[in-house]
């Protein structure tokens, strides 16, 4: 869709400096997925290296980064299905993260519920899935905040539950303006805290995450719970509060 004329070129004039924490989650099984296929850690390392060579190359600006940071940017040569700030097709990658770990957990919990709702033939597992939450610092002299003026006047466009075209359009405009980070209000966090959408690897301050947490997340079609053992924290979500259809009491 076309953006309002008053906002289409705003990324160029409204970019400001920003620095902060960015939390993201990855399935915990990513570490052990290949271990069961081999007999030793040496064989696993060789297999991982072979698999790495078979994957698309990541952009040059991502060189030297931990794979958890560059992975969202490496698949531009294969068709993408589309997401909030990334259009479908052969498009630039986006590193989706959150300022608070709880927000990142709510995002994952929502998408796990959605998976089961969209594929009724798939039965939700009886056991919780293991996830690793990791933190990295991002910084840019050119960042925009969709939860602040002048973008705030069009908040309904950026927080639509399922129509991602306005966000994809503003991300394209941001890229043309040299913007590296887009801050936005999370639609999936019941408390609507902020997400951090990184458009380029050059925005990462350090080459690898500086903090890790282990989370267990179990989801069904209607709700989800998430537990972090240390420091202890338990969260509960329902479909209405993460889908944009409702807020907590």
Taking only the tens place, the pLDDT of each residue in 25-72 is: 999 765 556 556 666 777 666 766 666 565 777 899 999 999 999 999
Report the number of secondary-structure helices (H) and strands (E) in the chain. 8, 8
Alpha carbon distance 39, 152 (integer Å): 55
181 assigned to some structural domain? yes
- Asked, for residue 51, whether it belongs to a domain, the answer is no
User: CA 219 → CA 29, 67, 76, 226, 242, distances in Å?
Assistant: 17, 27, 30, 9, 12
User: How far apart (Å, rounded) are the C-alpha atoms in residues 73 and 200?
Assistant: 8
Q: What does 39-75 look like in DSSP terms, one character per residue?
A: SSHHHHHHHHHHHHHHSPPPPGGGTTS-HHHHGGGS-
Residue 95 belongs to a domain: yes
The verdict on residue 36 lying in a domain is no
The closest of 186, 150, 136 to 16, measured between CA atoms, is 150
Look at residue 18 and tell me if it is in a domain: yes
Rounded Cα gap, residues 204 and 190, in angstroms: 27
Distance CA 212, CA 146 (A): 28
> What is d(CA 150, CA 210) in angstroms, rounded to the nearest whole number?
33
Tell which wins on pLDDT, 153 or 44: 153
Q: What was the pLDDT predicted at 47?
A: 63
In a domain, 128, yes or no: yes
Give the integer Cα–Cα distance in Å for 83 and 52. Answer: 25
Count of domains in the chain?
Answer: 1
Is 137 among the domain residues? Answer: yes
pLDDT digit string, tens, across residues 77-134: 778 999 999 999 999 999 999 999 999 999 999 999 999 999 988 889 999 999 999 9
CA distances in angstroms from 53 to 47, 49, 50, 68, 100, listed in the order given: 10, 6, 5, 16, 34
> Can you give the pLDDT at residue 249?
33
Q: Which domain holds residue 120?
A: 5-31+58-243
Q: Does any domain span residue 105?
A: yes
Can you give the pTM of this predicted structure?
0.90
Alpha helices in the chain (DSSP H): 5-8, 10-14, 41-54, 67-70, 101-118, 155-158, 165-176, 239-243
Q: How does strand 129-145 pair with strand 16-27?
A: antiparallel
What are the backbone dihedrals phi and psi of residue 209, each rounded to the nearest 5 degrees, phi first? -60, 150
Mean pLDDT of the chain: 90
As a whole number of angstroms, the longest Cα–Cα distance in the chain is 61
């Amino acid at each position: 869709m076309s953006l309002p004329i008053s906002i289409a070129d705003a990324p160029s004039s409204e970019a400001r400096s920003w620095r902060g924490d960015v939390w993201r989650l990855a399935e915990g099984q990513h570490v052990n997925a290949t271990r069961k296929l081999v007999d030793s850690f040496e064989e696993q390392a060789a297999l991982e290296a072979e698999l790495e060579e078979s994957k698309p190359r990541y952009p040059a600006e991502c060189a030297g980064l931990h794979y958890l940071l560059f992975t969202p940017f490496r698949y531009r040569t294969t068709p993408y299905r589309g997401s909030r700030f990334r259009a479908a097709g052969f498009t630039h990658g986006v590193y989706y993260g959150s300022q608070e770990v709880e927000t990142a957990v709510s995002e994952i919990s929502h998408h796990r519920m959605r998976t089961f709702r969209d594929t009724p033939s798939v039965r939700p597992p009886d056991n919780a899935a293991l996830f690793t939450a990791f933190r990295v610092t991002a910084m840019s002299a050119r960042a925009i905040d969709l939860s602040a003026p002048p973008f705030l006047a069009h908040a309904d466009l950026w927080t639509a539950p399922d129509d991602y075209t306005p966000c994809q359009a503003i991300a394209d405009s941001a890229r043309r303006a040299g913007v590296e980070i887009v801050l936005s209000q999370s639609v999936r966090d019941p408390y609507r805290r902020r997400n951090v959408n990184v458009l380029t690897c050059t925005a990462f301050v350090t080459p690898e995450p500086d903090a890790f947490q282990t989370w267990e997340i179990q989801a069904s079609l209607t709700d989800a719970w998430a537990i972090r053992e240390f420091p202890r924290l338990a969260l509960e979500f329902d479909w209405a509060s993460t889908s944009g259809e409702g807020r907590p009491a």
